[in-house]
Structure 1
Amino acid sequence: MTEISDNSQKLAPAVERFILHWGDLGGQWGVNRSVAQIHALLYLSDKPLAAEDIASTLGIARSNVSNSLKELAAWNLIRRVPVMGERRDFFVAETDLWEMVTRIAAGRKEREIDPALKALRECVAEAEGDPRIGAVAARRLKAMLDFTQTLDGWYAQMLNVPHNTLAKLIRLGGRIVRYLPVKAEP
């Protein structure tokens, strides 16, 4: 038996610990604890799970499960799958870690970075025509816009890097700096 094959049996301690920890991490990242726990359960499950099974396994309200599943589906981290002989909806999680991280990054960018860029652009444009804005404030707004645009451009570039190449870059870590030209900071 795998960890989550039969929801009438207790979860394996490592699985339970992971689900609880993922829920805590979700809270720290601004994601509802139940949403994160449901994601963890589906990620570790070896078979599709129905909302009722999720609710009973995790001990949370069915309505909470339903809302959490909608949120996870909106992030494109889970999908509904058919199960032969069943009329209920069943769900599975994306299990490719690179794909999962890419989808989370895309969602965060859309919800956080894009609105920040829009607001910064508007602030910089307003500041340019306002004599009441001091040189320091105008310079700092522009610097923040430039920085955020640089991160946004880097994100767009990284989307085109194959996952195996990206993994190699990440494993290189700070050692990659020795391959880059070094220019003294002003």
Structure 2
Amino acid sequence: MNLTPLNERFVLHFGEMGSRWGVNRTVGQIYALLFISPQPLNADDIVEQLGMSRSNVSIGLKELQSWRLVRLVHLPGDRRDYFTTPDDVWEIFRTLAEEKRKREVDPTLSLLREALLQEPQDAAEEHAQRRMREMHELIELLTTWFGEVQRLDPAMLERLLKLGTQVTRFVDAASRLGRSKED
């Protein structure tokens, strides 16, 4: 790699984390390099800085484009394709969450819905459907909540996240207040 020690450490770490997040190491490293780069990079720049083959870089860039995590840009007077990441980390987070939902959560919800529509054949399938219904309800609840959170503007979302456990204390207080009004 042709990077400073700090940048190399970040890129290598992202490569390792990428494999845990469902993308290969190469894709993680390419993304990390583009994320920290002060200007858009072309495929040749990425090959040079990461020491990867041109074909691995091309495949990695296509995967990152399919996830909508990198953008194609053109520089005046240069016919090559350049790539960059969004500047706003909240936009990156939202895009990643939306893509994960489309690729992982939505297919699971579809499978659960189909399974719950089937008539159980015996007690074991009835038990399995009860468990699937619980999972379906939880995923639907989380998906709905996350969709609402996704619509918040970044400043509001940041304030909400900084509240942390203060939110639970507020909800507990509101619940106690509601119960005392019923009494």
Q: Runs of 5+ in structure 2 lacking a partner? A: 177-183
Once residues 65 and 91 of structure 2 are traced to their aligned partners in structure 1, the CA distance between those partners, rounded to angstroms, is 14
Give runs of aligned pairs for residues 17-166 of structure 1, distance below 5 A: 17-126=9-118, 129-134=119-124, 135-166=126-157
CA RMSD of aligned residues (A): 1.6
Q: Runs of 5+ in structure 1 lacking a partner? A: 1-6
Counterpart residue number, 1:175? 166
Once residues 79 and 171 of structure 2 are traced to their aligned partners in structure 1, the CA distance between those partners, rounded to angstroms, is 58
SS in 1 for 2:165: helix
Which protein is richer in helix relative to its size? 2
* Number of residue pairs aligned between Structure 1 and Structure 2: 173
Displacement, 1:136? 2.7
Once residues 152 and 165 of structure 1 are traced to their aligned partners in structure 2, the CA distance between those partners, rounded to angstroms, is 19
Q: Is the contact between residue 70 and residue 85 of structure 2 (CA under 8 Å) also seen in structure 1?
A: yes
CA deviation vs aligned residue, 1:43-63 (integer Å, no higher than 9, x gap): 111111110110111011100
Displacement, 1:117? 0.2
SS in 1 for 2:84: strand
CA deviation vs aligned residue, 1:17-49 (integer Å, no higher than 9, x gap): 101111111111111111111111111111111
SS in 2 for 1:46: coil
Greater CA drift, 14-23 or 172-181: 172-181
Moved over 2 A (4+): 133-138
Once residues 120 and 85 of structure 2 are traced to their aligned partners in structure 1, the CA distance between those partners, rounded to angstroms, is 50
Identity %: 40
TM-score (norm 2): 0.89
TM-score (norm 1): 0.87
